[in-house]
Amino acid sequence: MAIAPDMLIAVHANDTDRVRISNVNTEKYPARDFRTAEIFEIDSKVHEWSNYFKCGYRGLFEHIGRSGGNGFDALLDGTVPAGGGLSSSAAFVCATQLAVQRVNGINLTQVELASIAAGAERYVGVNSGGMDQTASIMGQQGSALFIEFDPALKATPVKLPESNPPFVFVIANTLVVSDKHVTAPVCYNLRVVETRIGALILAKHLGIADHRACKDADPLTFKVVMDEYFATQDTAGSDTVQMWIDHLSAMLHASNAAFGSHPDGYTREQMAAALDMTPDALSAAVHEDRFPVRAPRFKLLQRAQHAFSEALRVVKFRQICESGDTRLNYCTALGDLMNCSQDSCRDLFECSCPEIDELCALARRAGSFGSRLTGAGWGGCTVHLVSRDKVESVKQVLVSEYYAKKFPNMTAAELDNALFATAPGCGACYYE
């Protein structure tokens, strides 16, 4: 879902071949000036704020087959904390695309913009998935989004149920900065590679590795494997949500059978042998040349268990929201799924950290129905499902037991940016 913090870009054509970008925070983000042709040059080894602007610009023009556009001046400001797990990079790239599109008279659809943005961060070496970009572009007021990427990007609004008292989401930043660009080889990108290799081995285990859908997929994902495995099943008249639940449950069972013999993980050699490949060929198959990773062992069992069980929780969340069952305590039912998600992130996907665990535990004790990390993990923000009448009491506990102890010199403004309540908002838009 889209939330209240945002990224703003004011843009004005300057009738030159220069693109000049400035940030309100000039001390941290110094102004940059490029020729339009230079914006396509992105050095992924250099951690530079303007590279994310270049990603949005380059992705847009490559999509439409042009080498550049009109010159313009742009001023940026935003309240999405960098490295906080609230998709600051996605917000930056998406806002850039809209600004560039408007000043150049381009008119792409929301689906096109979200798809372009999802791939654009790869120019800086981050193997981004696309969920954050889709929410940034396609978010709707009062709804979460049920997002599917295969066979094509599709975002289904899921209206959150009404409850009495109403519930909101409290966002609490650990203030542990998770910089995907820096930590990618041992965190974010490593998980991507583990799941891709897992998909290859699972397809072979299920006897579908030679099916065209699996052979042609690049990369092969768990979703493609699941869809191909059930491709011949007659689903006419089936309930879509229940079908998701049945398929994901079956994939969890299959994953345990496929990877259960290596509970402590695989070496590169063991994974390659399982696929009748050399380690170098396997590395090439998952594009490690573009997204290098480092790990002594690859925990395919745990990553598959998390991927399928997390997808199952998402589907069940949707099922609860759409049930219309007035007997349900929505806060408890949805909160339980969030708590299970955090357990899985911590134990199976191993993308939590002590500060995330601490904030979640504190919030639950103070009255949160459900608490989990949000974003890539390894720091950043947490999200808590809280009834509106308990928001202030939950915040007070987090302030006194976490922020006051770990960050005693925080200003009131800094605290407001780190800890706030929000409801699902709309996605990207123009303001003229």
Could you tell me if 160 and 142 are in contact, meaning their C-beta atoms sit under 8 angstroms apart?
A: yes
Closest of 215, 152, 221 to residue 192, by C-alpha: 221
Cα 122 from Cα 305, distance rounded (Å) = 26
Q: Which H or E element spans position 334?
A: helix 330-347
CA atoms 2, 7, 12, 14: torsion sign: negative
Could you tell me if 394 and 170 are in contact, meaning their C-beta atoms sit under 8 angstroms apart?
A: yes
> Of 33, 77, 132, 325, which one is the catalytic site residue?
132
Backbone angles phi, psi at 33, to 5 degrees: -135, 120
Q: Alpha carbon of 311 to those of 139, 202, 283, 397: distances in Å?
A: 19, 17, 26, 31
Residue type, 23: N
Annotation says 416 is catalytic: no
Could you tell me if 100 and 391 are in contact, meaning their C-beta atoms sit under 8 angstroms apart?
A: no
Work out the number of other CB atoms within 10 angstroms of the CB of residue 348.
Answer: 18
Could you tell me if 242 and 316 are in contact, meaning their C-beta atoms sit under 8 angstroms apart?
A: no
Fill in the DSSP letter of residue 402. Answer: I
Catalytic residues: 132
